[in-house]
Amino acid sequence: MSADQTSFTHPSFGRMAADRVIIFDTTLRDGEQSPGFSMNLAEKLRMAEALATLGVDVIEAGFPVASKGDFESVNEIARNTKGAVICALARSGGARDIAAAGEALAPAERKRIHNFISTSPLHMKYKLRMEPETVLELITSGNRAARNLTDDVEWSAEDGSRTEPDFLCRCVEAAIKAGATTINIPDTVGYATPEDMEKIFSMLRERVPGAHEVIFSAHNHNDLGLGVANTLASIRGGARQVECTINGIGERAGNAALEEIVMALRTRNDQYPFTTGINTTGLLKVSRMLATITSFDVQPNKAIVGRNAFAHESGIHQDGVLKNAATYEIMTPESVGWTRSALVMGKHSGRAAFRDKLRALGYDNMDDERLNDAFARFKDLADRKKVVYDDDIVALVDDEARDHDHIRFVSLSLRSVSGQPSEVELDLSVDGKPAHASATGNGPVDAAFNALRAAFAHDARLALFSVAAVTEGTDAQARTTVRLEEAGKLVDGQGADADTVVSAVRAYVHALNKLLVKRARTEPEALSV
């Protein structure tokens, strides 16, 4: 796209204004590679639907050749998710990769194959063990193969920010000639600065033949905390697609966060006069959904969606906000989905009030079974707790929404006397069948986890155990996080309950369910040339 164009043509979206930035979300692919994160098929479908409702333009659903489960996930998302382009990842040099991507995407209304290969000297020498000319050949053959399956083809130069400029230009030119319609230059290891990224995109648009006919894309990792800054700089340099994730999840330090990019463009439109199709009032809802599914809480001071993002404790700040919110708030809480409602629920609150409260908190798509389960737990909590706050309801609803397809917690009884081993009786449901175990341990939690290992045999190691209070007070619910490690694979589980031991067991059960999903994951075969 040349600098003087007022619009550009996209193979899936048609004619688009030159100030329109395409939002490419890779939460389900790159984001899921975060240590401890994993999603099953049902959770991926929920996230894909939420992303499409949010207004995401392109959803990268997965890497079909990696495993049977990945293929099935992409295929089901392609079949069921409407409104967004569904994208699948493939390696440029992998004929099986591209064929699998095309097959998985077959049911999609609009589909994209995203193929990639490393282009930096470091990656070509040590990762690929290939000469530059071989890489160029694979770029050509890979994009031609993808273009035979769809008109919407993206090519990525892995480690593009550390690629020699002349060779990067040759690679981009080869990809365009072979049919790529989107060219992505990722900062794969988060090494670049904003100045680097703006310069790279400006250089490619000036030097590469055919550059004005394609859309350039930025994919920035956050290893130096520059992911969002690099993305904004990339847009200045001419990128009109940005690749990002909800909550900034991803490998190592994560990716550029979707919510931060979108709100930066909206809030500082004077500096970045660009638009997106994102319904910003849905950002908090999708952020919370992802946190629930992955069992990875958003840090309190996280921009946009952290619980402190619009909190003011300083007296000077509070006084200013009360007089005029703009004194200390550069955007309104409501613009990203926060609500100022603080209606307190109690034991006399009925189902209708509970449903209304859930809608106000962003839970407006719960099925009847989950609603009934959540309401039953709410009534039980209200009987034991003087005041039920919004955060209490969020904690218990999130806990009910988590996957318990294979293993479900049923009940627990505990006997603990100081100076003596604790004793636990535990009942689970495993694939619909009852499982009972008794165990002792050095304290209630140790005994409960020993009972879990007896009721459902496994060799996973407990790598993390953390307990936090949901709200204040001695009657507050506990939110427990458990991380399990098995054969190098990490999974995190969360649970909430007014009883800390029950909370811990719920978290462990959730982690076990995620581990069962992750056991089926495999790495794709190495490329052979």
| Out of 55-69, 145-159, 362-376, least confident range | 362-376
CB neighbourhood size of 446 (10 A): 17
3-class SS of residue 93: coil
Judged against a pLDDT cut of 80, whether residue 322 lies above it is answered with no
pLDDT at 402 over 80: no
pLDDT for 315:
47
* Residue 269: C-alpha distances to residues 170, 219, 325, 409 (Å): 34, 21, 20, 49
pLDDT: is 285 or 526 the higher one?
A: 285
> Which pLDDT belongs to residue 317?
43
Question: Which of residues 268 and 308 earns the better pLDDT score?
Answer: 268
- List, for residues 422-479, the tens digit of each pLDDT value: 999 999 999 999 999 999 999 999 999 999 999 999 999 999 999 988 877 777 888 8
Q: Does the pLDDT of residue 3 top 60, yes or no?
A: no
Dist CA 1 CA 474 (whole Å): 60
Mean of pLDDT values over 226-238? 98
Decide if 171 contacts 119 (C-beta within 8 A).
Answer: yes
User: Strand 215-220 and strand 182-187: pairing?
Assistant: parallel
Best-predicted range by mean pLDDT (35-39, 326-330, 459-463) = 459-463
Smallest CA-to-CA distance from 80 within 117, 42, 54, 116 is with 42
Look up residue 302 and give its two tokens: 């996280």
What is the pLDDT confidence band of residue 313, given thresholds at 50, 70 and 90? very low
**Mind listing the pLDDT tens digit for each residue in 43-73?**
899 999 999 999 999 999 999 999 898 999 9
Please compute the mean of the pLDDT values over residues 265-283 and round it to a whole number. 97
Predicted local distance difference test score (pLDDT) of residue 486: 92
Rounded distance between C-alpha atoms, residue 64 and residue 105, angstroms: 9
> In this predicted model, what pLDDT tens digit does every residue of 467-502 receive, in sequence order?
988 877 777 888 899 999 998 888 888 898 889 999
Least confident of 26-30, 32-36, 115-119: 32-36
Higher pLDDT, 255 or 398: 255
Compute the average pLDDT of residues 498-516.
Answer: 92
pLDDT over 70, % of the chain: 92
Q: How far apart are CA 477 and CA 394, in angstroms?
A: 11
**pLDDT recorded at residue 321:** 41
Reported as a pLDDT band with limits 50, 70 and 90, residue 124 is: very high
222 contacts: CB under 8 Å, gap ≥ 6: 190, 228, 248, 250, 253, 254, 255, 256
Q: What is the pLDDT of residue 470?
A: 82
- Cα separation of 294 and 185, whole Å? 28
**If you average pLDDT over every residue of the chain, what do you get?**
89
Which amino acids are annotated as binding site, given as ranges?
30, 219, 221, 255
Under DSSP, the state recorded for 526 is P
Model pLDDT for residues 159-215, shown as the tens digit of each residue: 999 999 999 999 999 999 999 999 999 999 999 999 999 999 999 999 999 999 999
* Percent of the chain residues past pLDDT 90, beyond the cut: 65
Please tell me the predicted confidence (pLDDT) of residue 529: 43
Measured CA to CA, the distance from residue 231 to residue 248 in angstroms comes to 12
Out of 141-145, 312-316, 382-386, least confident range: 312-316
* Confidence at residue 230, expressed as pLDDT on a 0 to 100 scale: 98
Chain center to CA of 456 = 29
Q: Span 262-283, mean pLDDT?
A: 97
CA dist 129 and 126 (Å) reads 5
pLDDT of the residue at 314: 42
What CA–CA distance (Å, rounded) separates 422 from 438?
Answer: 11
pLDDT of residue 312: 46
Binding site membership for Mn(2+): which residues? 30, 219, 221, 255
End-to-end CA distance of the chain: 34
Given a cut of 70, whether residue 391 has pLDDT beyond it is yes
Measured CA to CA, the distance from residue 28 to residue 405 in angstroms comes to 20
Quick one: which of 480, 488, 486, 487 has its CA closest to 510? 480
Reported pTM? 0.84
